[in-house]
Homo-oligomer: A and B are copies of this chain.
Amino acid sequence: MKNTAEKIAKSMKEISVAEFFEKNRHLLGFDNPSKALLMVVKEAVDNSLDACEEARILPEIIIKVKKLEENRFRVVIEDNGPGIVKEKVPSVFGKLLFGSKFHLGRQSRGQQGIGISAAVLYAQLTTGKPAIITSRTSPKEPAYVCHLKIDILKNEPVIIKEEEKEKFREHGVRIELEIEGKYTRRHQSIDEYLRETAIINPHAHIIYYTPEGNKIEFKRVVNHLPPLPKTIKPHPHGVEFGIFERMLKITSSRTIASFLTTDFSRIGRDTAVKICRKAGVKPEAKPRELTHKEIEKLYRVIQETKFIAPPLNCLSPLGEEEFEKGVQQVVNPEFAVAVSRPATVYRGNPFKVEACIAWGGEISKEGPAQILRFANRVPLLYQASACAITKSVQQVNWPNYHISREGNMPTGPIVIAVHIASVWIPYTSESKEAIASYPEIIKEIKLALQECGRKLAAYLRKKRKLQEKELRRKLFERYIPEVAHSLSVLTGEKEKEIFKSLEILANKNVMKEEKGEKT
């Protein structure tokens, strides 16, 4: 047996995370050529929007997709963000699991520092071409240009060429990739992704040059940035035992009591001391000196203690007015209404649901309602049926709101858009395509949709009543000449005068009815 064990031991080795994702790139959404093309654009645009918001810049993003040959494209994405400092450019684009947002404790589009380097990896895998990154952080310094690839076996960037360049916008980042892909204009396309991105980011200006040579532009319709979310400390109920134990080891607090109050949100000094007492741990004990048993006891007492919900300013919701404007610009409906629910909590993570329903206008009257799903201001285009948003839409009783239904899906000229903002969106997979169906989340989405539904129903009822009145008025008006003539003959008054009085009467009646309705 020893021989076999030694033989196996010899073949053992460490695999780099880049190699792992190269082989498992479907986990990141790069499963087929048309999806891969979309993913490259998506990862770059998401990063650009995050960077602009962080730097408080109203984003302007230019996307160019050029067909080089059958199934081969050059993709360029350029933003007016703060730029990336020269020293970090290689790692940001050429190293998986490198980024600034993993431990951030606040809402952002990107989370783990995988997306954009996965796009670089995909380009390298399919065409062997390096990514070309241009970055400038200040008009006083030249732009930095870097051609880079990834050393897959080490998960490290390899700089092929670097240079300086004067001719570039004052600040921002530009990425150029050559990839194998397939271009489609149907749903789950770049076109659809950018259309929905414009809806959920009405403060962004997006310019898209398509492979066919067309220019599609989504203008900015909201002239202020969304609030910059605050970074929050973890809530005591949102931390698992292993992480709690690690926090004790790496904390800079000198005592357990100060560890509890400074490393967590929502634990006050008095509570901290009470927790320590109950757990039989001295409040002034050193965090690194606790035994495993003591840590266990402390953790259990914390889980049994009640705390107020975590602070909610770590979220950056869209806002009702902004959501309506975004939808109106892109969808052009007759009516749109948005509802922003109060923030709430699942498993110690704050989240907030916003919904917007648009009706009529340019929305197609045929077929099922269009459902637009958004998470932290990013459109979700895949795995609709696995998503908590779709499931919530199916659970709403639409006929209650004058919306017809086929099977369990609403139909007719409506667009239903739902946005979930959270520090930690529970996606069902790493490719971030669908939101897991936590009961708390489903409940909030349904409440938002029902509130929108009630407002839409009120609009539709009023619209119908006005139409009925208008019909009655028109009917009355049609007989005015005849009545005026008869009355004139009977009374001897001038026909014209009678006509005018009757007309005034008709309009008055309609207005009275309208007023009556308002009370």
What is A's interface to B at a CB cutoff of 8 Å?
A: 1-2, 4-6, 8-9, 11-17, 19-20, 22-24, 26-27, 51, 54-57, 82-85, 87-88, 91-92, 95, 97-100, 102, 104, 112-113, 121, 124-128, 137-138, 141, 152-153, 170-171, 240-243, 245-246, 250, 292, 295-296, 426, 428-430, 436
Contact = CB atoms under 8 A, between A and B. Distances in A.
A416 B430 CA distance: 32
Given A6-B137, A8-B82, A26-B426, 8 more contacts: A2-B83, A4-B55, A9-B85, A9-B88, A9-B100, A20-B97, A128-B245, A153-B246
B100 A5 contact: no
A15 B137 contact: no
19 contacts: A1-B137, A1-B171, A4-B82, A5-B83, A6-B85, A8-B51, A8-B54, A8-B84, A9-B88, A12-B92, A13-B100, A14-B97, A14-B98, A15-B113, A19-B102, A22-B242, A26-B436, A27-B27, A153-B250
Given A125-B243, A241-B126, A292-B128, A97 B16 contact: yes
B1 A55 contact: yes
Contacts of A8: 51, 54, 82, 84, 100
Given A17-B17, A98-B13, A240 B125 contact: yes
Contacts of A11: 100, 104
A225 to B, nearest CB: 13
Contacts of A104: 11
Contacts of A14: 91, 95, 97-98
Copies of this chain present: 2
Shortest beta-carbon contacts, A-B, top 7 = A125-B242, A4-B55, A1-B171, A5-B137, A4-B82, A2-B138, A11-B100
A6 B153 CA distance: 29
B12 A88 contact: yes
Given A1-B82, A429-B429, A242 B12 contact: no
A119 to B, nearest CB: 13
A133 to B, nearest CB: 14
A206 to B, nearest CB: 20
B9 A87 contact: yes
Contact of A112 (B15, B26, B82, B113): B15
With a 10 A CB-CB cut-off, give which of A13, A22, A292 has the most chain B CB atoms.
A13
A517 B51 CA distance: 79
Contact of A137 (B2, B126, B295, B430): B2
A102 B2 contact: no
A23 B114 CA distance: 14
Contacts of A113: 15
Contact of A128 (B17, B95, B242): B242
A121 B100 CA distance: 24
Contacts of A12: 88, 91-92, 98-100
